[in-house]
Structure formats: structure tokens, C-alpha cells
Amino acid sequence: MFNIPLNFLRFLDAEPEREKLILLHTGHYFPEPILISCSVQIIGASSQCPINKAVVIEQRDDTTVTLVEGSTGAYVGYLTLRFNPDKAPSAVPHQQHYALQVTEEASPVIDRCHINSTSSVGAAVCVKRTAANPKVGTEAAMNSLAIVATLHQISLFILGRGRFMENRIYSNAFAGIWITGSSDPTIRKNEIYAGQQGGVYIFGDGRGLIEQNNIYGNALAGIQIRTCSDPIVRLNKIHDGLHGGIYVHEKGKGLIEENEVYGNTLAGIWVTTGSSPILRKNRIHSGKQVGVYFYDNGHGLLEENDIFNHLYSGVQIRTGSNPKITRNRIWGGQNGGVLVYNGGLGMLEDNEIFDNAMAGVWIKTDSHPTLRRNKIYDGRDGGVCIFNNGRGLLEDNDIYRNAQAGVLISTESNPTLRRNRIFEGKAAGVEITNGASATLEANQLFHNKFGGLCLATDVKPILRDNKIYDNHNAVERAVGRGQCLFKISSCTSFPMHDFYRCVSCNTTDRNAICINCIKNCHRGHTVEFVRHDRFFCDCGAGTLEHQCRLQTEVRDNDTVYDSATPTGSDTPNML
């Protein structure tokens, strides 16, 4: 049964008046390479199930089936097409040989086929040239899907157009689908999974519509977009990858919208090296690192996404990256909502950032973002924390109901705060400490527990036209009542007041004692004023040798807690 399919093709070419239909019955065929240049129909026929496993066409030296100009309307269905070259070390390499190749002006239908290549260097399916426009799979939802690519290097290598629908593409040594050379295919409703590298790889000005696919469990990024490629990625599920979800780099673009990206080991979406995609209306959640990560001059638009429940921050921006982040909801980050660090920029406008375990927004290490008209609230730490020479403009934001300071400015930082409303915080409204400064202009600070504006020793910000009113001033009230300040702070916050150390008790500069404990517990001792700053009282906390006389309640065992340093993401080699 070596040349039966080829002999039938030659017969039909010689008899053009006959219907071009070939029914291949159960068997394993080893013909010469098949070249199709007419609208022939080749259909597997068998009493065995599945039919496409019972009828096999195999080649070992050249491409198994090639469709060229003239094959518009051709149909190949219910077959296994296999390229199975010699594995001997001396064998000729087969980079240009495939199980199925579609080229030139061809526009065939490939339906319910099992397409397999065991070559270590080539793809199972190759679509070449922009006029090539096959339909692979079926346009209608069918119970029997085309099964494409098992245990070979690349499933689909696309240099043209075509529609690839309802296929299973899995267990490939490289990416499941490669799209390059200005190709513009439609990849729809496929299962793309368990690849030893990525799922879909778009490079070299590739285009295409990647829609309604289920992409999961791949060793590298589910979708990779690079080198000026500009696809549409829409309505896909990209999840449970051993790496990340979507990786856009080397000036990649793309419209990435209405996808669900979740459960990936690294970032849900990376944007880096001059790339500028549009990310809109996606649900990005439950990742083991960051939700969306901009680094090394990554730009683009992040708009109307839900980003939530990541083990790191919801969004990270660093190293010259300057995205526009607008109208997103960002919550449930274990490392904070948004982290801007190491020279990051960014425009954050009209976002809701809430219920994050650390700060709603971190700005640190020479970063300078703009935050405008955001709502930052219900955080389990501070609203905005600015550390380590952080800068930035905070303008017209509502910052409220956060567990720590609404805005904490520390360690040589110097931001500008203008027309913000900072209120109902469970600590202070704005705290400035540790050599930092700021410009505060026309802000409203009200209904905060510890006070509206708290300034450490030697802090001298620029203040213009701020309204500070109706704050609860719990620190001053506790001091006035003779209470230990640990009573209002526990180990979970740091009220700002005058703190001392006790020379007689041999405390160090790291031990702080509040004014009322100095007057009562350390009466008659030699004491030194430390500074006016953020501390909790070590005497009340029970960390000194003598028991506090003012703290009579059973103390909790909370971990000593400050606005902890967030964790930046690594940027491993993606290729």
C-alpha cells in the first residue's frame, strides 16, 4: 500500500471529468510525497474508531502532503498525516519537511485529522506565504476535534493566513503555534497545552486573531508576542502555566482584551523592552507572583482590568517603564496593590485599589509615577507608602479606611501631594519621617485616628492651603489620659510622639519608651530623649526587663509590624 493515494491522484488528473473524490480505507500508507494542486477530496473510511487513527499516510524523507495553488476547495479529512524521519545521528536534517504544508494560493479544508511529526527540528504543519489560507479543524462546534501535534518540535508554523479552529495542540518541544513574517491567521477555540516551551509564539511582525482558546500547562509563556508583532488576543483562558501567562517584549504590541489569565507560576502578563500593548477588560488573578509586570521600558495601556489575589503585587512597574494604568480594579495582592520601584514611572488614573495586604501603592527607589483620581482604600497596611528617594505626584485621590497611614513618606523621599482627600484612616492621615520631605498643597485630612499630619523631628515639608480637621487625635488623648501608647497601637501600628530611652535600664536606641512610661515605670531613672517619630512603646510591649505598670491587659502576640518592604519580581530568561 505504498503509492495508492498518489496513483489515485494521477488517475484523477488524467480524467478531469470525474468527481475528484478519494476514499482511503483502513491501512498504513507509505506513498511518495503527495502534492495536491486541484480541489480533490481525500477522506479516510474505516469501521474502526476513531477513523483518523485507522487510516495513516506516512512519509520518512520529505513532506507528507503539500497543497499548492489550485487546491482551493480541496478537502483532507479523517486521516493521520505523519512525518517520521530517520532518527540516526547521520540522518539528513528535516527543518523544511512537515506532515502537512500549505503554500502559494492554496485554500484547503483540513478536517478531523491527526497530524504528527517526530522530527526534532521541524513543525507538523507549515503554512507559507500570505496568500495561503487553509481552514484547519472545523468552523462549527463538533464533538470530534482535530488532533494536531503530539511529541514533535512545533505544531503549526504559519507564514501566511488560514483558520485553525477547534484543534488540540499539545506536548510540543517548542511552541505549539508559531506565527511570523506578517502572517495573519485566525486561531480560534483550540486547546493548546502541555508544551515543553510556550503555547503561541508570535514574532517578526506577526499578526493574527487569537480568540477563545484554552491555553494551559505550558512550560514557558502561554502567549509570547515580540519583535513588532501586533496580534489581537481576545476571550482566551490562559492559565496554570509553569511560567507566565502572556509575555510581550522587544517592541511587541497587540490588543489583549477580555481574556482570563490565572494560576500561572510567574507573572500573569509581562511587558518589557520597548513594548506597548493595549490590555483591556481582562481578568488577571490568582497568580503565584505578579499580576501585570512592566519593566525595562515596558509601556502600553492597562485599562478596565480586574487584577486580584496575587501572591506578589497586582501591578509592578520598574526600570524606566511608563504605562498608563486607568480604570482598573486592583485588590487582594499579598505584596500590595501597585509597586513602582527602581526608576519606574507610570500614570495611574481613576483606579480602585483596595483590600491589599500591604500598601495600596508603593513608590520607592527613585521612582516618579503620577497618581490621579484614584480610590485607595480598605488596605491592611498604608494607603500610599513612599520610601528610598521615591518621588511622584499624588493629585485628586481619595485615600481612606486604611489600617496604617493614608500616606507614609520616609527615607529621603520627596513627593508632591495636591488636592487629595485622606480620611478615616486607622492611624495618621499623612506621616513624614526619616529624612523625608514633601510638598502638600490643598489637601483635606480628616477623621483619621492618630491625627491629620504627623511630622517627625527635623522634617520640614512645604505646606500650602491644606485643611486638617476633625481628626480623632488618639495619640494626644492617650498621652493626656496618662496611658501607655502601646494601648492604642499594639504591635501593629506606630503612633508618632516623643519617645525616650532609659539609660538606667540599659536600653538601646532601638528601644523606644513613651512619655507616660518614662514618668511612671522609669520614674527616677536616667533617661534620654530620642526624637519625635513613629514608634510603638517597648515598655508597654513587654520587651524590656521590667514589667510595664500602665499596661494591665493581656498582651497579644502579634508580629512586630511596619509597612514591610515589598518583594520585587525576578525577570528570568523567557526563551
Q: What is the pLDDT of residues 433-453, one digit of tens each?
A: 999 999 999 999 999 999 999
Please check the confidence at residue 178 and state whether its pLDDT lies above 70: yes
Q: Is residue 523 part of a domain?
A: yes
Q: What's the pLDDT at 106?
A: 81
Strand 496-502 and strand 513-514: pairing? antiparallel
- H or E stretch including 500? strand 496-502
Question: Out of 184-188, 307-311, 385-389, 406-410, which region has the weakest mean confidence (pLDDT)?
Answer: 184-188
Q: What's the pLDDT at 394?
A: 99
* Phi, psi angle pair for 487, to nearest 5°: -65, -35
Q: What's the pLDDT at 568?
A: 60
Q: Is residue 510 part of a domain?
A: yes
Task: Please report, for the domain that includes residue 532, its CATH number.
Answer: 2.10.110
> Domain total for the chain?
1
- Quick one: pLDDT band at residue 574, thresholds 50, 70, 90? very low
Nearest to 427 by CA among 392, 462, 379: 379
Contact (Cβ atoms closer than 8 angstroms) between residue 185 and residue 211: no
User: Of all residues in the chain, what percent carry a pLDDT higher than 90?
Assistant: 64
- Quick one: pLDDT band at residue 96, thresholds 50, 70, 90? confident
- Is pLDDT larger for residue 552 or for residue 424? 424
- Quick one: pLDDT band at residue 113, thresholds 50, 70, 90? confident
- Quick one: pLDDT band at residue 162, thresholds 50, 70, 90? confident
Q: Is residue 547 part of a domain?
A: yes
Mean pLDDT for the stretch of residues 50-76: 90
Question: Out of 26-30, 90-94, 190-194, 483-487, which region has the weakest mean confidence (pLDDT)?
Answer: 90-94
Q: What's the pLDDT at 453?
A: 98
Q: In this predicted model, what pLDDT tens digit does every residue of 481-497 receive, in sequence order?
A: 999 999 888 777 889 99
Please check the confidence at residue 99 and state whether its pLDDT lies above 60: yes
Q: In this predicted model, what pLDDT tens digit does every residue of 315-338 receive, in sequence order?
A: 999 999 999 999 999 999 999 999
CB atoms within 10 A of CB 18: 9
Q: What's the pLDDT at 156?
A: 62
Most distant CA pair in the chain: distance in Å? 117
Q: Is residue 111 part of a domain?
A: no
Mean pLDDT for the stretch of residues 361-389: 98
Q: In this predicted model, what pLDDT tens digit does every residue of 68-85 receive, in sequence order?
A: 988 888 999 999 999 888
Q: What's the pLDDT at 151?
A: 36
Q: Is residue 555 part of a domain?
A: yes
Average model confidence (pLDDT) for the chain?
88
- Is pLDDT larger for residue 136 or for residue 176? 176
- Quick one: pLDDT band at residue 554, thresholds 50, 70, 90? very low
Determine the residue type at 353: I
Characterize 296-335 residue by residue with b for buried, 16 or more Cβ atoms within 10 angstroms of its Cβ, and e for exposed: bbbbbbbbbbbbbbbebbbbbbbbbbbbbbbebbbbbbbb
- Quick one: pLDDT band at residue 142, thresholds 50, 70, 90? very low
- Quick one: pLDDT band at residue 91, thresholds 50, 70, 90? low
Q: What's the pLDDT at 154?
A: 54
Please check the confidence at residue 340 and state whether its pLDDT lies above 80: yes
Q: Is residue 549 part of a domain?
A: yes
Q: Cα(222)–Cα(263) distance, rounded to whole angstroms?
A: 12
DSSP-derived 3-state class of residue 539: helix
Q: Cα(154)–Cα(171) distance, rounded to whole angstroms?
A: 9
Contact (Cβ atoms closer than 8 angstroms) between residue 548 and residue 539: yes
Cβ-Cβ contacts under 8 Å for 58 (sequence gap 6 or more): 28, 29, 30, 64, 80, 82, 83, 84
Question: Out of 53-62, 115-124, 344-353, 359-368, which region has the weakest mean confidence (pLDDT)?
Answer: 115-124
Does the predicted TM-score (pTM) go above 0.95? no
- Is pLDDT larger for residue 109 or for residue 453? 453
Mean pLDDT for the stretch of residues 357-361: 97
Q: Is residue 313 part of a domain?
A: no
Q: Cα(364)–Cα(410) distance, rounded to whole angstroms?
A: 10
Domain containing residue 531: 493-565
Characterize 203-215 residue by residue with b for buried, 16 or more Cβ atoms within 10 angstroms of its Cβ, and e for exposed: beebbbbbbbbbb
Question: Out of 1-5, 100-104, 121-125, 149-153, which region has the weakest mean confidence (pLDDT)?
Answer: 149-153
Q: What's the pLDDT at 258?
A: 99
Q: Is residue 535 part of a domain?
A: yes
Nearest to 566 by CA among 363, 329, 295: 363
Q: Where are the beta strands (DSSP E) in 103-236?
A: 109-111, 114-117, 123-129, 135-137, 146-148, 154-160, 163-165, 167-170, 177-179, 186-188, 191-193, 200-202, 209-211, 214-216, 223-226, 232-234
Q: What's the pLDDT at 11?
A: 65
Q: What's the pLDDT at 144?
A: 26
- Quick one: pLDDT band at residue 89, thresholds 50, 70, 90? low
Nearest to 72 by CA among 36, 39, 43, 104: 39
Mean pLDDT for the stretch of residues 216-240: 97
